[in-house]
Amino acid sequence: MKAIRVHELGDPEVMRLEEVPDLQPGAGQVVVRVKAAGVNPVDTYIRSGLYPRKPTLPYTPGNDAAGVVESIGKDVTRVAVGDRVYVAGTISGAYAEQALCNESQVHPLPQRVSFAQGAAIQVPYATAYRALFQLARAASGESVLVHGASGGVGVAAVQLARAAGLTVIGTAGTERGRGLVAEQGAHHVLDHHAAGYLEQVLTLTGGRGVDVVLEMLANVNLGRDLKVLAQGGRIVVIGSRGTVEIDPRDAMSRDAAILGMSLFNISGHDSARVHAALGVGLENGTLHPIIGQEMRLVDAPRAHRAVMEPGAYGKIVLIP
Ligand code: NAP
């Protein structure tokens, strides 16, 4: 089978399409014929060598994929050969024609969800769900600012929050992105490059501020997020690409919480709960991943450049 292989960490061009041996499942394992693989910003951090998690070389990048179960090992009971599935992490890497997974990493993909959409579930939707409900404990009737709503995690967060009965304010940096955020169910959409846009968060909430902020670029926004937070508000730091200065008094005066998260830390128990909830939303259509670009597996270097550029529009996926 063909797979993207990385023999040394560095620029996107270290990713090369190579022929590798077909995968065989061990006990409790599943081999998935990959129809689409999701590209996430974290894949680029790991490939560059600048991320704390270092892969054992050579490796195949990617956590997210969707496809059809090709073979199963001894004692596998949750899926059968021929099932449509999405994967929430793999043992062997996702940018390939096949992926080896533990049985617990494989979840049913409803007929209404395409393989490309299936490759856009794990990192974006599990992150958004965990941030909103397991960390911020967002509740119906509350308000949320999805700060960076046009990309993978943001779109997922808007759909999840809207379906759960929150008032949703989403931001994007382009007109196309703002159109997408509105279509996905945000009640209000702001431009995170416009002067004074965060003051509108106060206006939109009657001066009270938002209950929850999901922050995609904390190094730019964290200090200002605190100033538009309601009493008892919670900020979940999902993305950050540097350091930031905050005034702790803004948090103290609001009894506010700043919660960091890394999806890599999620327990098996919490992950099972996340996917039980996502499965229902995918089945009933409240969750519908948006695919902005499809590229060939061989174009993985181009995909890594694209995912780090401004002007996000849903997800980029690779098609083997
Ligand atoms: P993405 O698809 O590339 O989207 C990035 C988002 O950030 C876009 O909506 C973009 O908007 C927005 N953005 C750009 N400038 C901004 C600004 N000044 N203020 C607010 N938002 C801004 O990436 P993603 O997959 O959604 O992930 C978002 C971030 O979370 C990334 O840094 C990623 O590494 C991180 N992440 C962390 C975890 C975790 O476990 N902690 C999990 C998943 C993702 P425009 O392009 O429209 O300007």
Q: Using one digit for the tens of pLDDT, what is the confidence trace for 187-210? A: 999 999 999 999 999 999 999 999
pLDDT at 244: 98
Q: 73 and 49: one domain?
A: yes
Q: Which of 177, 268, 254, 255 lies closest to 216 in space, CA to CA?
A: 177
Neighbouring C-beta atoms of residue 285, cutoff 10 Å: 11
Last residue in a domain, options 227, 249, 264: 264
279 CB neighbour count, 10 Å cutoff? 17
Confidence at residue 173, expressed as pLDDT on a 0 to 100 scale? 98
Total domains in the fold of the chain: 2
Tell me the average pLDDT across 134-160.
98
The verdict on 135 and 248 lying in the same domain is yes
Domain stop point among 264, 279, 309? 264
If asked whether residues 25 and 43 sit together in one domain, one would say yes
CATH code, domain with 55: 3.90.180.10
* Judgement on whether residues 147 and 242 belong to the same structural domain of the protein: yes
Residue 55 is classified by DSSP as P
170 and 255 fall within a common domain = yes
53-74 pLDDT per residue, tens: 999 999 999 999 999 999 999 9
Is the pTM higher than 0.85? yes
Give the percent of the chain with pLDDT over 90: 100
* From 40, 44, 48, 153, mutation site for ligand 1 pocket: most ligand atoms within 8 A of C-beta: 153
Tell me the pLDDT of the chain averaged across its residues. 98
- Ligand 1 centroid to residue 113 C-alpha, Å: 23
Please tell me the residue having the least CA distance from ligand 1 atom 38.
238
Q: How far apart are the first and last CA of the chain?
A: 10
Quote the strand ranges of 176-256, DSSP E.
188-191, 210-215, 229-237
Q: 220: Cβ below 6 Å to ligand 1?
A: yes
Q: Which residue range is the domain that position 51 belongs to? A: 2-121+289-319
What is the percent of the chain with per-residue pLDDT over 70, rounded to a whole number? Answer: 100
**Which of 211, 217, 244 minimizes the C-alpha distance to 229?**
211
Is residue 170 within 6 Å of ligand 1 at its C-beta? no
Check if 221 has its Cβ closer than 6 Å to any atom of ligand 1. Answer: yes
